[in-house]
Structures are given as structure tokens and as C-alpha cells.
A and B are shown apart, each in its own frame.
Chain A
Amino acid sequence: MKKNDHPFWKDLRRNRVKWLMLVPAAVAVILMCYIPMAGIVLAFKEYNYHDGIFGSPWVWLENFRYFFQSGKAWSTTRNTILYNLAFLCVNTVLQITCAIMLSEVAGKKFKRITQSVMFLPYFISWVVVGAFVYNLFNYEFGAVNSFLKGLGLAPIDVYSNKGAWPFILIAFSAFKNVGYGTVMYLASIVNIDDHLFEAAELDGANMWQKIRHITLPCIRPTIVILFLLAIGTIMKGDFQMFWQVTGNNPMVLETTDVIDTYVTRSLLTLQEFGMTSAAGLYQSGISFVLVLVANYFVKKVEPDYALF
């Protein structure tokens, strides 16, 4: 009975309720993620229906070639990462600001209404947002140019201006996500023990001091975990957003092309599962390394905040 002496089996016996509570989630994850994960081999195969996933012939790294051969691997990877970092910073700052303001604002009705209203953009699909962007910036008919013409100014051509798009994308990402993300921080803020604030007030702390020394430190675990989770998706672009907001505009690709849009454009007519899979594996691989590194440092500083 040597194996029963291993701490794992001991823990399993001692904490069996805890382990049981993990079972439903674990089963779902095994069924929906781990078993189909075997399909990763597709990235190295030339799939055909007759031989299926496992019987199809191996092509090894062949499926990765188009991605690196195009000369766009670096620029799209760079864009993807930079955009995600920018979204992360801007959205987080805005979301936390809104959450703190909402938690402090006195009017209850006002609070409820603004909270609901700020959630509305979440429901507007990117297709419709893309149409808004087009209506705003169209050279001949757009709202911006009509306004400029009304003032007697020269119209601007946004769609051929590479430099403008990062700002537009960041602005619309914030627009869509502020209400959604605010809720997460709000939930964290309302969980802060009120006694802390009361004690601080007795010590004569003002608003700003309380925010700096109580609110922000208390929501730090949420910030850190959301940051780590964001690192994990840093190689993925919100495809719909990039495709629809820019209108898949070839003139500004230099600053707007991310991995997902690039792969979609390249494989539009080819329908190669293996090649799609290969791009996915490249994204996952890089994200994984980055997350391991980030998590390692977080764990060193504050083990409780680490993802794993």
C-alpha cells in the first residue's frame, strides 16, 4: 500500500468533498477541451475526410510555411501584441475609474441608469459598429466631413490615414467594453470591508487618500488576475472588431492587420483545416510562454495572485 502514503492520495481522502466539488467543472473541461485538444495534430497534417484526423498524412511544418513566407508574420504579431496591450491599459484604466466613480456617486437612480446605459454598447454587434465608423468617416458623406465642410474646413480622408486607425480601434474597443468591464471591478469594490473606510475616515483621510490606499490595493488581486488572463489572449485579436471596424481596408493594413485577420484573408478560399490549425498553434504557443513568464513573476512577488 505504498501509493496510499503519497500526499496526493492522502489529500484525496481527506479533502474528498473538495475534490468532488471540482468534478463537474473538470468533466466539462475534459469533454469540451481536453479530448478535442488531440486535434492539435491537424496543424502538422494534410487533412482529408477519408483518413480522418489521425490517419491523414503528416506534412509536419508545411502548414506553417505560408504564414512565415508572406513576410507578414512579424508585423502582424507585433500589431496583435501592441493592440492588446493598448486595449488592456486603456480599458482597465477607464473601467476602474468608472467603477470607483459609480461606487461613490450619491444618486441611486443616476447610478443605476448610467450603469445600464454603459452596458448598451456591449449589445451592438461589431458589424453595426463598423457601419457607424463608415458613416462617421466616409470621405464624401461621412458625418465628420459634413461637419468640417459646414465649418468651411477641408475634408479629411481617414480611410487612407494609417496613423489614425490605432486610435480609432482603441476608442471603439473602449466604447464596447467599458460597461462590461466596469461590472467586474465594481463587484470587487463592493466587496471591500466598509470598516476599512470608516477607520480611514476617523484618521482624517480624504477621498483621494482612501482611493489610493484602500480601494486600489483591495482590488489589486482582480487587476492582477485580469492582467494575467489578458496576457493569455494577447496573441488573439478580436477578429470581428478588426475586420468590421476597419472595413478590411487594404490601405491601412500596416497598422491594423492582426494575426487573425491576416490568416482569414489568406485562407479565405483555400479551406485548409491544417493551415488554420497551424496559425492557432503558433498563437497559443507564444501566449503560453508569455503567460508562464508573467505568472512566474507574479507568483514570486505575491503567490496568492498567481493564476496557477
Chain B
Amino acid sequence: MKRKTNRILSLLLALVMCVGILCACGGNPPSKDDTPTPPAKTDEPDTAPDTQQPTGPDISEEVTLTMYLIGDRPVDNDEVFGKINERLKSEINATIDVKFMSWSEYESKYPLIFASGEDWDIIYTADWCFYNAQATKQGYWEITQEALETYAPMTAQTMYPEAWEQAKVGGKVYMLPMNYKEITAYVYMVRGDLMDKYGITSVSSLDEAEAYMDAIVKNETGMIPLDVGSDYDKLFIFDRMWKQACGKDGVNLTDVGPWQVMASVKTDDAAAEVKGHYDQAPFLDVITRLKDWKDRGFWSKNAVVNTQNNTESFQAGRSALALMNANTAKSVYAAVTADHPEWDVRVFDAQEDVPPVLNSYLANGMSIFSKSKHPERALMALDYLRNDKEVNSLFCYGIEGKHWEASGSNALVSLPGSANYAYDSNCNWGVRNDSNWRVIEGGIPNLPELTAGWQESAKSSLYQTFVFDDAEVKNEIAAMGEIFNTDYKLLGLGFTDDPAGDIAKLRDKMEAAGAAKVYAAIQEQAKAFLETN
């Protein structure tokens, strides 16, 4: 008897709890009240006849925009933004208040500030920094063509059309991508002393690298020729081999879709038949060669759990060769030549015949929060940050005469004051602009020559502006992401005893994960993409 009442009571208790929860939550629908309002709120231009530009947007109300950047506040940030705000105030009657989200927390915090109900307006974004995920969750304010023309006329004029296309998610644009063409080209960094010791004259192709590494592994005990395998460079060698194999005449393959689905398509195929890499002809050869290199000890037997990337190992003197992109090479070269001049470090082009790829414009950009109270004003401010020479230079390089000094029209010299506001390191990457860009001189001796060659051959890949809409196949992509992170990466480092057999296993797993469905979806969208472009 007692037992029963107890049970009923505990049920009641639970019920009360539930009701409590529902009340607590039902009473405050979290977001209904502040739906994003496109330009309807502001008055029509005719009610403000005495503003300076009768046709322009209404800027009579003074606003402060909150802008989130990633990183740590540079010491002179407030001084720089003081100057930026002076100009913004006089031009568009708005000022910017900058908030920083540090590198240690952005991965957790970035999605949360969208959910928190905090009041803010502008944020840094990038394809590697949640752009797609937040855009599909309606985290950003849509930037329409009309809005761009009305509120950001300078941007509307200078925006690269392909950048605008790239930024589309489900046909809508949510970011202003950087106005900056950047190429990623890979270089080998090699120990000159060891090259001379073994009579190697050049390391600028996979074959030459093979000869060099062979000499190292046979003669330099205790040294790993190329210490790849960390999360950062697990697939570096695979990529070199794969890209080279794909570019060969008669093969002509190009990757398509998100990288974790491992899909490729023939560049001359109008039907855009999408297949997994494992079903393409060169894949087996590439994996077999990787296995051979791994078996010969070119990289560690434990490469898959490597915690250091190959440049760190190279700098520490543990390895004799490093593969990296040209940007990284600049800083590594400076550090290594300072620490170990006796190494006589040399840099060689690792692209071989593969034209370097023009980076996605989405590698850096700026977006507006979907619940911003002043999205139009935010867009106007971004217009100035991007295109106004004075504001853009302040943001990117700091104050002229204090942090930097011009050297010609497209180069600069850093001044000692730049310690407090360093060149291109204030999360200004989203507003980089080719028309106002300045480089710092110095560094690797043959780099200008290499760069010139790359710039000549660089091209956008066929599907550069193709963005795959994964809404229907998220589960499959998650399952394939798992395979990519495990089996595929193992193959990519040559960890297999039986390449053909393990490729077949990879195929089976991918099919079980739903590869056919994903490839069909990619193919359909890619075909439509080819037809409209």
C-alpha cells in the first residue's frame, strides 16, 4: 500500500518537474520576438530630405556596431580603431566596437554566440571557420545583390564575380569574401649540407625527392627523411602524388565536393560522373608507391600518431626534408637559417607540373549576424573596412608612421612599433584587398622567381565555385567523414600490406556508408552547375 503511494508520488514529482520545465521554457520563446528585419524598419528616403545624399541610405541615427574578431587584442588595437572610427563616424555615422574571441576558445564559442541572444553585428568568417555550418543554420544575415548595391557600393564594384559565386550557400550569399587572390603552392625545404654530401643537385620532383630520401635513409641513421603524419600533414604526400597523377594527359581528374567524401570527376565530362577516388585508375598506383615509400622508412612507422608536423621536425633537425606551402616556408626559412646556418637550407618547387590552385576566396571573409539590429549599417561599415584605402590600411597594417612605412605603392617596411600591431595579423584577413595590398620584402632568395612562375600557371579548378548542398545527405557525410579520418588517412600514408585488397575494403565501407547516394547528389548538382556556368 505504502509502496504504491510512494510510486504515485514520485510520478507526481516528475510531472511537476516537467510542467515546471515546460512553463519555464514556454514562457520565453527564445527567438520569436527579434526576427531579423530586412531594411523595412528604417524610414523611407523621402522622410529625410535634408540628409546629404537624398538617394542614399538613412544614416541619421548614430550606431555602435559590435564586431567579433578571432585572436588576441593587439596592444594598439584601440588606438587603431580610434582612427578607423573617426573616419567611419564622419562617413556613415557609425563606430565599431571590437571584441576578440581568442584562438583557444573560438571553436567552442563561435557557434554559441549565435545562440546566446547577445547583441552583436559583424563577425569574421571563413570556409574553415564555420561559414557553411552557420550559414545553413541561418546564423548570418543574407547579403542580397540589392543590399550590396545600396549599402556597399564600393564592394559591389570591386567584388570578384567568382568570389561572389563561391560565397553562395543554397543560392544565397552570407559573407563578403576577401578581395584577394591567394595561391597555395607547395615547396620542398631541403638540407643543402646533406644534398652536397650525397651529390644530390635538385629536389624539385617526387622522383628527385625519392632519390634524396633514399640516400638519407641509407646513410643517416637516426634521421627520418620526411617526418609527416600529424593532423596537419597526414595527406601531404598523397596529395602531391594524387594531384600529379590526376593532371596527366588522358586522366584529367579533379576533386569535387567536400573533401571527406573523397570524390573526383573527369574535367572533360559534361555529365560530371562522380566516383570515389578509389574507383579511379591512378589511385592504386599512388597507394602502391606510398606503401613502397613507407616500407623503405621514408617516414616513421608511427607516422599516424605523429604529434609534430614535418616542419617542426625539420627545424628540430630530426628530418632531412619538409614539405609545406610557400607561406609557411617564409617563416620557417627565416627561423632555420637563423638557428642553423650550417644546414644551408634550400627551397625547391614541389608543384612539378601541377598548376597551383587559386585559393578559395572563402578562406577569409566577413559576415553579419542574422539578428543584428543594424545589418545595413554593418554592411556599410564593412564596405569601408574593405575598400576605403585609409580604413583598410589601418585595419591591415596599423597606423602609418607608427607601425609601418610605405615602400613604393605595393610594399611596406615594418617599423619597431609594429610589435604592438603586427602586419596582417589582427584578424583583418577578411578585408584583404588586392587593390590596396602591400607585401613585406625579404626572405627566401628564389621565392620571387618561383612565385612568378606559379602566378603565371595558377588557375581556378573547374569546380572552384561549386558549393555542394549537403542538406539531404548529412548523415552519410558524417559516416564518410569517419572513414576518411581512419581508413583513408592510413592508405594516404601507405599503411597497408595489400593495397588492392585494402582499397577494395575501403570501397565496401564507403558503399555501406551511403557513398552511392552522396555521389549521385554531387553529380546532380555538379551537372546543373556545369550547365549554368
Contact = CB atoms under 8 A, between A and B. Distances in A.
A140 B224 contact: yes
Contacts of A152: none
Interface string B506-523: 000100111000000000
A269 B486 contact: no
B486 A66 contact: no
A50 B36 contact: yes
Interface in A40-98: 47-55, 62, 65-66, 69-72
Nearest to A139: B301
Contacts of A275: 474-475, 478
A49 B114 contact: yes
A69 B21 contact: no
A54 B29 contact: yes
A129 interface: no
A211 to B, nearest CB: 38
A149 B495 CA distance: 24
B139 interface: yes
Nearest to B369: A49
Given A55-B32, A140-B301, A265-B481, A251 B21 contact: no
Interface in B112-137: 114-115, 130, 133-134, 136-137
A49 to B, nearest CB: 5
Nearest to B32: A55
Contact of B478 (A160, A253, A266): A266
B301 A50 contact: no
Interface string A249-286: 11101000000001001111111110100000000000
A71 B512 contact: yes
B304 to A, nearest CB: 6
Contact of A62 (B111, B475, B481): B475
Nearest to A271: B133
Contact of B137 (A37, A47, A267): A47
B21 A38 contact: yes
Contact of A69 (B32, B114, B479, B487): B479
B481 A270 contact: yes
Contacts of B481: 265-270
Interface residues of A, number: 51
Given A48-B138, A250-B490, A265-B482, A157 B111 contact: no
Given A50-B35, A266-B479, A139 B302 contact: yes
A30 interface: yes
A247 B139 CA distance: 34
Given A35-B21, A49-B115, A270-B481, A248 B305 contact: yes
Given A50-B138, A69-B514, A268-B485, A34 B300 contact: no
B476 interface: yes
B411 interface: no
A226 B302 CA distance: 38
B20 interface: yes
A138 interface: yes
Contacts of B370: 49-50
Nearest to A262: B482
B487 A54 contact: no
A140 B300 contact: yes
B22 A138 contact: no
Contact of A70 (B17, B258, B513): B513
Given A66-B474, A253-B486, A49 B301 contact: no
B224 A53 contact: no
Contacts of B22: 38
**Chain B interface, >50% SS class:** helix
Given A70-B482, A268-B485, A270-B481, A52 B31 contact: yes
A266 B487 CA distance: 13
Nearest to A133: B305
Contacts of A34: 17, 20-21
A218 B111 CA distance: 50
A159 B475 CA distance: 30
B42 interface: no
B24 interface: yes
A131 interface: yes
A7 interface: yes
B489 A250 contact: yes
A288 B435 CA distance: 61
A251 B234 CA distance: 14
B110 to A, nearest CB: 9
Interface in B133-147: 133-134, 136-139
B512 A251 contact: no
A159 B302 contact: yes
A55 B301 contact: no
A34 B16 CA distance: 11
A119 interface: no
Contacts of A130: 307
B9 interface: yes
B9 A8 contact: yes
B331 to A, nearest CB: 24
Contacts of A273: 111
B260 A269 contact: yes
Given A50-B36, A52-B29, A270-B133, A250 B485 contact: yes
A250 B304 contact: yes
A66 B20 contact: no
A25 B126 CA distance: 44
Contacts of A70: 478-479, 482, 513
A185 interface: no
Contacts of A38: 21-22, 24-25
A125 to B, nearest CB: 14
Given A35-B24, A51-B31, A70-B479, 8 more contacts: A38-B24, A70-B478, A138-B300, A159-B304, A250-B489, A265-B481, A268-B481, A270-B477
Interface of A: 7-8, 30, 34-35, 37-38, 47-55, 62, 65-66, 69-72, 130-131, 134, 137-140, 157, 159-160, 246-251, 253, 262, 265-273, 275
12 contacts: A48-B137, A52-B29, A54-B25, A70-B513, A130-B307, A160-B301, A247-B304, A250-B304, A253-B486, A265-B481, A268-B485, A270-B477
| Interchain residue pairs A-B with the least CB separation, the first 10 | A247-B305, A66-B475, A52-B31, A66-B478, A250-B486, A271-B133, A52-B30, A50-B138, A139-B301, A65-B475
